[in-house]
Amino acid sequence: PGLIYERVRWRRIKDRDQEARDLLLSQANDLAYISIRPQYWWLEKAILARRALQKGHITDAYRLVANHGQTDAGDIAEAEWYAGWIALEFLGDADIALTHFQNLYDVVQYPISLSRGAYWAGRASEKIGDKDRAHHWYKLAAEHAHTFYGQLAIDALGAKPSYSVIQPVPTAEQRADFENQELTQVVRKLGDLGLGNIIRPFIMALVYEHDEPEYLAMATDLAREYGRADLGIIAAKRSIRSGSGYLDAAYPIHEQVPLGRNPDPGLVHAIMRQESLFNPNAVSSAGARGLMQLMPATAKRMAQSLDLEYDTGRLTEDPSFNIAVGRAYLARLLDRWGGEEVLTIASYNAGPTRVRQWVNEYGDPRDPDVDVVDWIEMIPYSETRNYVQRVMEGTYVYRRRFARDEIAMGQDNAKTDE
């Protein structure tokens, strides 16, 4: 098996894809050969299947992923989704696709994966012509209204989003226990000394030490109390996974983001959340900096276009400056793509040159004949596919949060006028 694996990998690296596929497919009915380190085999299969799809070898692509032989739940889920997607969208076999999507749904437990499996099971059921079953699956997906596929399911149902995440309320006993914990006391001592920049390991230890929603809520509050919205988001996201948590803490609002429509503040916030978790001091390994993770060269061009004095240090030291140049860059991308947000978001992550290449290869999402969801799933970089989906779902949540706050503000003003 090791020799076969290395031969497959070498051929794939040398772009001898047909030979690599033939070698893999010759072993398709013998799952024993991938029983050792199946995740390595899956990586090769997934890459080769995607390349096969791009070149029109659809049956080969399906055979590669359908006989996946994976044992880890996450890898099974990815492989079953991939096989179902190819069967549904490329082979036109909705019955086989539905089986794969049901297999996916049965092995996962987190909202992003549950909504993904249920949404695609709904699409497959719809193509079969079973409206009742499609409605059932869409309803299951729609239970996760803060996820990309849950939101698509809500739209498919023609329903209104219902964010039923319940904010947990700790008891007095739980609060006392939390405050008496050594980790909590360390965080408070450091925070009170103005050292909130070094509390991350202690907050993270608190977050991963507790599964109870009430304790995660208190960890969220503790992080936010000392100015660490980024750590608050992590804690709140972990709590939301269990069906309870701070939705507002998971999707915080930055007071320095203008509420004008160009670019939309919901989109700005979603990008900021995905890029830096609202950490103004974030610096990536590639050198992107600050809240909106801007590369210095890009930030300098945008600053010049705004007649702002540029200094690299301002990207992490001056949040308002980072937001200003980040919004300018986002507005430029939106203008470049005629306001199309999927292309804009993909460009923010992978660069507009690559996105133009994908448009040429997979079609233009602005074309009504191009399925936007399929286009996103065709993106060859898993990081960018995930990025687009996470930013899209964040934008969806933020827009509804802003609308909710506007309604609440209007009600408060009405009461004041009375």
297-336 per-position pLDDT tens digit: 999 999 999 999 999 999 999 999 999 999 999 999 999 9
Handedness of CA 375, 386, 13, 68 (dihedral sign): negative
Average pLDDT of the residues in 43-54: 91
Q: Which of 371, 353, 384, 325 is nearest to 123 (CA)?
A: 371
The mean predicted confidence, pLDDT, of the chain is: 91
- CA-to-CA distance for 236 and 276, rounded, in angstroms? 16
CATH architecture of 265-417: Orthogonal Bundle (1.10)
Handedness of CA 75, 81, 84, 85 (dihedral sign): negative
Average pLDDT of the residues in 243-271: 87
- Tokens 């200094």 belong to 311
Q: Is residue 224 within 8 Å of 187, Cβ to Cβ?
A: no
Q: Exposed (0-12), middle (13-18) or buried (19+): which is 361, by Cβ within 10 Å? A: exposed
Residue 10, SS3 per DSSP: helix
CA distances, 250 to each of 112, 175, 220, 245 (Å): 15, 21, 9, 8
Question: Does the pLDDT of residue 165 top 70, yes or no?
Answer: no
CB under 8 Å to 161, separation ≥6 — which residues? Answer: 145, 151, 154, 396, 400
Question: Does the pLDDT of residue 100 top 90, yes or no?
Answer: yes
Tokens of 119: 């949404």
Tokens of 251: 């999707």
The residues pairing with 166 across neighbouring beta strands, listed in sequence order, are: 244
Tokens of 222: 């503790």
My answer on whether omega of the bond before 368 falls inside 30° of 0, hence cis, is no
Report field, pTM of the whole predicted structure over 0.85: yes
Residue 283, SS3 per DSSP: strand
Q: What are phi and psi of 166, to 5 degrees?
A: -95, 125
Residue 240 banded pLDDT, cuts 50, 70, 90: confident
pLDDT at 268: 97
The fraction of the chain above a pLDDT of 70, given in percent, is: 92
pLDDT at 244: 67
By annotation, the residues acting in catalysis are 275
Average pLDDT of the residues in 165-191: 92
The fraction of the chain above a pLDDT of 90, given in percent, is: 76
Residue 404 banded pLDDT, cuts 50, 70, 90: low
Q: Which of 304, 301, 279, 305 is nearest to 292 (CA)?
A: 279
Residues in the chain: 418
CA distances, 261 to each of 257, 267, 331, 409 (Å): 11, 10, 10, 19
Q: What are phi and psi of 283, to 5 degrees?
A: -135, 120
DSSP assignment, residue 307? T
